[in-house]
């Protein structure tokens, strides 16, 4: 009833490399420990020299010359971009129109109107006209 299930783990690349070359890795690690314990100052100086050498090369020999300007995109991509811009602009204009209509409706549902209410309605109507003119401008091409 209670049987222990035995399974073989799938071969793993790192485990297989460790089995095959593990002795060499451990020898190399031991060698590095001995060298770094015996010559710590020289290793530190070598590391600093390589950093400085890399910096000198980066700012002199391997410096990138002036790059050529990137080629411009074709006209069809700009047309698509302009179309998306127009769609987004129309959506924002629609949102503004709906906000202005809500403002006008709240003023109209009041029992008594004041001078501030009439100015609010006047400005809202003026903004609606401006939005209407912006959306109905014919592009000249």
> What pLDDT sits at residue 78?
62
> What pLDDT sits at residue 132?
85
> What pLDDT sits at residue 44?
97
10-residue mean pLDDT profile of the chain (141 residues): values are 73 86 94 96 97 93 78 62 79 90 89 88 90 77 57
What are phi and psi for residue 97, nearest 5 degrees? -65, -45
Three-state helix/strand/coil letters over 79-109 = HHHHHHHHHHHHHHHHHHHHHHHHHHHHHHC
């Amino acid at each position: 009833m209670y049987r222990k299930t035995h399974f073989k783990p799938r071969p793993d690349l790192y485990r297989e490399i460790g089995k095959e070359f593990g002795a060499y890795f451990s020898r190399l690690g031991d060698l590095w420990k001995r060298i770094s314990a015996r010559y710590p100052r020289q290793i530190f100086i070598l590391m600093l020299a390589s950093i400085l050498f890399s910096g000198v090369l980066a700012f002199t020999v391997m410096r990138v010359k002036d790059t050529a300007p990137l080629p411009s995109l074709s006209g069809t991509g700009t047309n698509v971009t302009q179309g998306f811009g127009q769609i987004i602009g129309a959506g924002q204009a629609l949102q503004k129109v709906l906000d202005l209509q809500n403002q006008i409706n709240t003023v109209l549902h009041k029992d008594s109107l004041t001078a501030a209410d009439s100015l609010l309605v006047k400005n809202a109507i003026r903004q609606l006209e401006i939005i209407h003119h912006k959306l109905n401008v014919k592009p000249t091409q």
